[in-house]
Amino acid sequence: MTTIHEVAAAAGVSISTVSYALSGKRPVSEKTRRRIEDAAQTLGYQPDAGARMLAGRRTHIFALTEPLRADTHAPTHMAFVLATAVAARRRGYDILLLTDEQTSDGMNRVAASNLVDAILVLDVAPDDERVDIARSVRTPTIFIGLPDDQRDLTCVDLDFEAAGHLAIDRLADAGHAAAHLLGQTEVSYRKSNFPRRLLRGVEERAADRDVVLTWTATGAAATDPALVRRSAEAALDDGIRAFVVHAVDDVHDVLLEVLDERGLALGVDASVISAAASFDTSVLAAPIDTIPLVPQQSCELAVDIAVRHLDETNVPPEIHLIAPEYHGAGSVRPPRD
């Protein structure tokens, strides 16, 4: 194991100079720095993590708590975990996993033992137990998602309400007087917060713009293709030609299938917008207008905020809502004048 002493000896300097040269926290003459870097390079020097934590009061580790519920959509969840890990590494941080039963105890433990510099919270529930813990620990905690009670919390999330507004606006602009929302699973409307927020946004704007709105959740816990089909067909039977889909890929597939069966051309006879989908919508049978939920965006922002909490002192708690973006693909009728 190469230590800083060996690097110092090899470069003919003191260990403090090595430390400063490598961290850049103190100016070091160009040529000694080069000598030190060369020595570190050839010796394969990597500072000891424990020593660095102890002396530097920085662990360079973030905890990521992810309580895996039975109804968790695995691909979406993985996308968020991955995006967080990538964003963290880019800033020089590793991710320590805190799973299920460990959530509360785990958060307290890693905070009390100074194992991590910050905690990132995934899969946030409306009445999340981690909210209280976040308030009680000194470790900066960033929620990726919004709990109901956001007092004193730092959160990052897509602005789902604005996404709902945006979707309805586009459909109304296209002249639709009625729209149907194919929503998330029933259980998610109770266990999560974002489906309700999108729904609220859609409802609000539909009321504002005199769009008659109907909606259905897509199955009890798992998505139910038959149910999706039935509700899509019922909407079509009612003369509705505008759809907002806030659901996983399968649901999109079913809707497109039904439209196809009825000979309704996307962007001509019928309009479809995929709202807050976190998967790659290009895998669908047809191009669809989307208001995507980009895990990389949320997670990167969360990591940035975490880092800021460490670098600056007294960063006030804040709710960061990410503005939705509309990506047109021709699945919505052109606006009529």
Give me the residues that bind DNA (CB under 7 A), please. Answer: 1-5, 12-17, 19-20, 22-23, 25-29, 32-33, 45, 47-48, 50-52, 54-57
In the complex with DNA, which residue's Cβ is closer, 19 or 192? 19
Among a copy of itself, DNA, none, partner that 59 touches (CB below 5 to 8 angstroms by kind) = a copy of itself
Instruction: Report in angstroms how near the CB of residue 40 gets to DNA at its nearest.
Output: 10
Q: CA of 164: how far to CAs of 161, 254, 283, in Å?
A: 5, 21, 23
Q: Binding string, 39-68, against a copy of itself, x = CB under 8 A?
A: -----xxxxxxxxxxx----x-x--x---x
- 234 is a site residue for a copy of itself (CB under 8 A): no
Give phi and psi for 291, each to the nearest 5: -120, 85
In angstroms, give the least distance from the CB of 95 to a copy of itself. 4
Is 91 among the residues that bind a copy of itself (CB under 8 A)? no
Paired residues of 213 in beta bridges: 179
**Min CB(44)–a copy of itself separation in Å:** 6
CB of 14 to DNA, least distance (A): 3
If one counts every other C-beta atom within 10 angstroms of the C-beta of residue 26, the result is 10
Q: For residues 60-77, b (16+ Cβ closer than 10 Å) or e, as one string?
A: bbbbbbbbeeeebbeebb
β partners of residue 182: 216, 245
> Judged by CB under 8 A, which of 24, 27, 31, 113 binds a copy of itself?
113
- Strand extents, DSSP E, 68-176: 94-99, 118-121, 141-144, 154-158
Q: Is the dihedral of CA 274, 279, 281, 283 positive or negative?
A: negative
Closest CA to 250 of 226, 267, 234, 271: 226
Q: CB-wise, 22 or 96, nearer to DNA? A: 22
Nearest residue to 69 (alpha-carbon basis) of 222, 184, 195: 222
Part in contact with a copy of itself (CB under 8 A); list of ranges 94-102, 163-171, 198-206, 262-270: 94-102
Residues that bind a copy of itself (CB under 8 A): 1-2, 44-54, 59, 61, 64, 68, 72, 74-75, 77-78, 81-82, 85-86, 89, 94-102, 106, 109-110, 112-115
